[in-house]
Amino acid sequence: MDMQTVLIGPAGATSGDVLAVARAGAQVRLSESAVEAMAAARRVVDALAAKPEPVYGVSTGFGALAVRHISPELRAQLQRSLVRSHAAGMGPRVEREVVRALMFLRLKTLASGRTGVRPVVAQTMAALLNAGITPVVHEYGSLGCSGDLAPLAHCAQVLMGEGEAEGPDGDVRPAGELLAAHGIDPVELREKEGLALINGTDGMLGMLVMACADLARLFTSADVTAALTLEALLGTEKVLAPELHAIRPHPGQAASAANMLKVLAGSGLTGHHQDDAPRVQDAYSVRCAPQVAGAGRDTLAHARTVADRELAAAVDNPVVIVGGASGAEGPGGGRIESNGNFHGAPVGYVLDFLAIAAADLASITERRTDRLLDKNRSHGLPPFLADDPGVDSGLMIAQYTQAALVSELKRLAVPASVDSIPSSAMQEDHVSMGWSAARKLRTAVDGLARVVAVELVAASRALEIRTFGGGTPAPATAAVLAAAREAGVPGPGRDRFLAPDLEAAYAFVRSGALVSAAEQVTGPLA
């Protein structure tokens, strides 16, 4: 099968493009209109570079050093020095998919014709992506303002044939060797090009796009496991009725309730909550599941709106305006203007907001798991769902693991975007910390998947115990149980080495197999 190719034009990109390049290894190709837009903007830069008046980013230093005018014979060195000095990251390597997303998004902005780089710069970056060459980028180095400077500088350095990169075989080698092996000529940067390569919010945006995709699947997965728990606790599905959610018209809440109702359709276990231990209402963690997951869904919708706006943006400073009047003028009135569009606040805020939503969804999920394991609140289930309680501990410590994860997610929910550390001799005196917000969100998303996986293990075991007593689960529930067991998720029985089983459940959730199993019966879930 032919590999997908993403065409990059001046108008921006989609989240699907980002995912295809970052995760599926899609090839990229610059459109003719993108090449033309870059060439037109470059003519403006070249004209301004020839003038004696200083123009920021073209013939000056950077940041607090912008007061110095740089003579023409030093400008190539200026760009090399900028990239080398800014490639100052430290710490562990960032994941390959993050670096590919970052590179693709920087390429998208170069193709906009707003940065003033020559087409060859963008074409070389496209060649790196297509060859599977991934620069080594480190965890620390971005304040999320003036762009993701250090991460992008490490990528720009590889374009120059310097630094280190991972080849398509996974081995890390000197960048010059990798470029030569793939027939790619290093780029000799000219006026403004080094700055254009490092001045963007591409790292945090790439991580936002991927987190949105992952969280969309996890919100649906959490709806499924919440339905399983409601059923295992003999709860009532009446609280999921559409008319109840219509009178509080949050779209996410209605979607989550509808998902749960579909999963529970045809259950012989729901509605029996008054048989053994009468209760007027189910506990909040069960009854309010759509309200909490739904609020997370609405938060996700807002985050996607922000991501879509950023995907349509050209983030650089200064930017090239082709045509118009005023400012530092080149041919046809084209000019270069300074701006603050590199500030990561819009992205940083929603990254933090999503971390809060993930933590709260994990919190309510853990409470449902604990209820399944407590014989005083589980309505007839054995303590800790153990085979022989006292001899067997059942899922007791699985809940400990889940609780530890929830506690970690609560710490990760502390916003990074409210912090700011002045830099560059107080020229850059307010920063977004958006990169940090993105990094902790990636950890939170993975933790949420593990929390949902533990609920799956507990709820599916509880449901099978109910069937031993003659209960009939919903058809969608039965399909989930069958698929989970086939994937190695454990059912009832004597104690066993539990860690591999929990990892199997995590893989089942993270891959989307949990949702797919339910959808075989329910049809598409929101």
Could you report the per-residue pLDDT of 69-120, keeping only the tens digit for each?
888 888 989 899 999 999 999 999 999 999 999 999 999 999 999 999 999 9
Model-wide pTM > 0.75: yes
User: Scanning the structure block, which residue is given the tokens 């002045």?
Assistant: 422
Main-chain dihedrals φ then ψ at residue 93, nearest 5 degrees: -70, 145
At 277 the pLDDT is 59
CATH 3.30.420.40 describes domain 208-311+340-522: no
Structure tokens, 44: 């403006």
- Per-residue HEC secondary structure of 218-265 comes to HHHHHHHHHHHHHHHCCCCHHHHCHHHHHCCCCHHHHHHHHHHHHHHC
Task: Please tell me the distance from the alpha carbon of residue 318 to that of residue 357, in angstroms, as a whole number.
Answer: 36
Q: Dihedral of CA 348/215/168/6: which sign?
A: negative
Of the candidates 56, 140, 400, 506, the residue annotated as catalytic is 56
What pairing do the DSSP bridges indicate for beta strands 134-135 and 164-166?
antiparallel
Q: 3-class SS at 498?
A: coil
Question: Nearest to residue 352, comparing CAs of 419, 268, 271, 437?
Answer: 437
Does residue 56 have an active-site annotation? yes
User: What residue spans define the domains of the chain?
Assistant: 5-200, 208-311+340-522
The radius of gyration of the chain's CA atoms, rounded to the nearest angstrom, is: 27
Structure tokens, 123: 């074409």
Under-70 pLDDT residues of the chain: 1-2, 64, 273-278, 324-333
At 323 the pLDDT is 72
At 329 the pLDDT is 56
- Burial environment of residue 207 by CB neighbours within 10 A (0 to 12, 13 to 18, 19 or more): buried
Contacts of 270 (CB under 8 A, 6+ apart): 230, 231, 234, 235, 236, 237, 264, 474
Residue 453 carries which DSSP code? H
Q: 3-class SS at 49?
A: helix
Residue 8 carries which DSSP code? E
At 1 the pLDDT is 37
Q: Dihedral of CA 457/459/465/467: which sign?
A: negative
| Annotation: CATH topology of 5-200 | Fumarase C; Chain B, domain 1 (1.10.275)
Task: Please tell me the distance from the alpha carbon of residue 264 to that of residue 417, in angstroms, as a whole number.
Answer: 40
Task: Please tell me the distance from the alpha carbon of residue 486 to that of residue 95, in angstroms, as a whole number.
Answer: 30
Same fold, 5-200 and 208-311+340-522: no
